[in-house]
Structure 1
């Protein structure tokens, strides 16, 4: 695709913005968790990793080399896997209490999937070899 790198960069920015949005509301604690906040830091801070992956992905989207496109596929696949892990962690029921899912956790899943798709469709010029 001609504009896949710009589409991918926009998806990375969506993921970074979603890290600041509420991911889940826990009614027993009466608190909303985000990518950077969880009660007593029990779920960690996956937003920091998404931001770090996002910076690397943007750099790889902007470098017009084959090795960068291949590395971007790997980084975006790991980011997507981390998004699935975060979704399962933040939305799982515990001790009879099920958290309410918020928009941020869905945007993480959709955004990381869009980044992965954009990394699979790089815009690289193809050199034709002349065989005699």
Structure 2
């Protein structure tokens, strides 16, 4: 795909922006959790890991080498796995109290999936060896 690296970069930036947006609202605590804030840091700061993966993905999208495209596939796959873990963690019910899902959580998970799809469609010229007979 001709514009896949730019779509992948946009998806990685979307993940970074979504990490700062509200992911879930917990009515019992009356607080909104983001990728960088949770009550008493119980969920950690998964936004830091997503930020790292997104920056690495952006760098690999900009390098026009085959090894970078292959490494980016691995990084994006780990990013999707981490995004799924965050989605599951932030939407799980606890003692009958379920949080309200917010837009940032969906944008984060959708951005990781979109970045993975963009890594599967690299725009790289592969030289073919033509043997002369």
Give the TM-score of the pair, scaled to structure 2: 0.97
- Partner-residue secondary structure (3-state), 1:107: helix
- Where do 5+ consecutive residues of structure 2 fail to align? none
Residue 113 of structure 1 pairs with residue 110 of structure 2? no
Distance 1:114 1:89 in 2: 21
RMSD: 0.6
Distance 2:17 2:123 in 1: 25
Residue 62 of structure 1 pairs with residue 62 of structure 2? yes
Distance 2:97 2:126 in 1: 54
Equivalent residue number for residue 3 of structure 2? 3
1:1-132 paired onto structure 2 within 5 Å? 1-132=1-132
Deviations 1:83-103 (A, max 9, x none): 000000000000110000000
Question: Which portions of structure 1, spanning 4 or more consecutive aligned residues, are displaced by more than 6 angstroms?
Answer: none
Distance 1:83 1:60 in 2: 19
- Where do 5+ consecutive residues of structure 1 fail to align? none
Distance 2:129 2:112 in 1: 36
- Partner-residue secondary structure (3-state), 2:25: strand
- Partner-residue secondary structure (3-state), 1:37: coil
- Partner-residue secondary structure (3-state), 2:130: coil
